[in-house]
Amino acid sequence: MCPYAGHAYICVIKKTITVDYYKELSSDVRFVEGLTGCLHCGTCTAICPAAEFYNYDPRIVAETVQTRDNNKIHELLTGNMIWYCGECMSCKTRCPRNNAPGLLIMALRALSVRTGLFTESEKGRQQLVLKRTMGEWILKYGYCLYREEMTVEDHPEQGPTWEWQNKNLEKLFERFGVKYRGDEPGPLRKIPQEALDELQRIFDVTGATRLFEFIEEKSAEKAAEMGLEFDNRLDCRYVNQLYNLDSGIHTKD
């Protein structure tokens, strides 16, 4: 069931576009702050580090949204383009119209997830991995990146140093003056259960918990459509494919 039950998004799930995407974007403060009127100068693209590496052009994103063409915005929501941005906000510092394509991208990504359209693209499907790692670690540990969960098996590219670090974390952090997972104040301290419970309540009342469930549901549907095994493990075949598949269409030659 859609996290916005009773809303027109349900029609999107049935593959019928009846949502006015521009109207939906206009109710997102990131969109309102991010795009006041683009003059297509391309300064954002010139400064964008993601545009240097990916087949990505923030000017085109701003231009497409500005057309208010529902089909074109639908293409953005179902495509890879909106997932290339690194959200560094360099574009905001140089835009002569004070736009922030990075904020616009955030609003588009949120809409793509809420409508379930994120599963239509290779990069969009990776939202499930983010939910199952950083998203769940925030609730479990109070940190979006939790060192012990980043295992050697999941990150073989880190090499033997990573393995040594994993075995010597407390000793390692002590050298930086950090009492790792300690009860005292300071960085990387243990987060009390009371604070974690409060985080969970925040997720519940803001709809984030339901959105997490929705990401799982839509991903399961996509896995079935693709004929890939799907369960709650980080190494089920669907998640493995998200981790490892690179069809080669994303980066510049």
Query: For binding to ligand SF4 (CB under 6 A), which residues are involved?
Result: 38-44, 47-50, 58-59, 62, 85-91, 95-97, 99, 101-102, 105
∠ CA(78), CA(226), CA(122), 5° rounding? 35
3-state DSSP assignment of residue 58: helix
* One-letter amino acid of 77: L
Q: d(Cα 53, Cα 208) in Å, to the nearest integer?
A: 32
Residue nearest to ligand SF4 (CB): 102
Smallest gap from Cβ 121 to ligand SF4, in A, equals 17
Q: d(Cα 107, Cα 211) in Å, to the nearest integer?
A: 15
Q: Which is nearer to ligand SF4, 42 or 79 (CB)?
A: 42
């369960």: which residue's tokens? 231
Q: Which is nearer to ligand SF4, 96 or 182 (CB)?
A: 96
Q: Which is nearer to ligand SF4, 79 or 86 (CB)?
A: 86
Smallest gap from Cβ 208 to ligand SF4, in A, equals 23
Smallest gap from Cβ 57 to ligand SF4, in A, equals 9
Q: Which is nearer to ligand SF4, 57 or 120 (CB)?
A: 57
**What stretches of the chain adopt beta strand conformation (E)?**
none
Q: Phi and psi for 251 in degrees, rounded to 5?
A: -100, 160
| Whether the Cβ atoms of residue 201 and residue 208 lie closer than 8 Å to each other | no
Residue of 15, 89, 9 lying closest to 49 (CA atoms): 89
Q: d(Cα 131, Cα 98) in Å, to the nearest integer?
A: 32
Q: Which is nearer to ligand SF4, 106 or 223 (CB)?
A: 106
Going from the C-alpha of 85 to that of each of 40, 51, 101, 182, the distances in angstroms are 18, 8, 9, 36
Smallest gap from Cβ 117 to ligand SF4, in A, equals 20
Structure tokens at 19: 């949502």
Q: Which is nearer to ligand SF4, 43 or 133 (CB)?
A: 43
Q: Which is nearer to ligand SF4, 110 or 236 (CB)?
A: 110
- The DSSP result for 164-178, as a single string, is HHHHTHHHHHHTTT-
Smallest gap from Cβ 123 to ligand SF4, in A, equals 14
Smallest gap from Cβ 133 to ligand SF4, in A, equals 21
Smallest gap from Cβ 43 to ligand SF4, in A, equals 4
CB atoms within 10 A of CB 113: 20
Residue of 57, 93, 95, 91 lying closest to 76 (CA atoms): 57
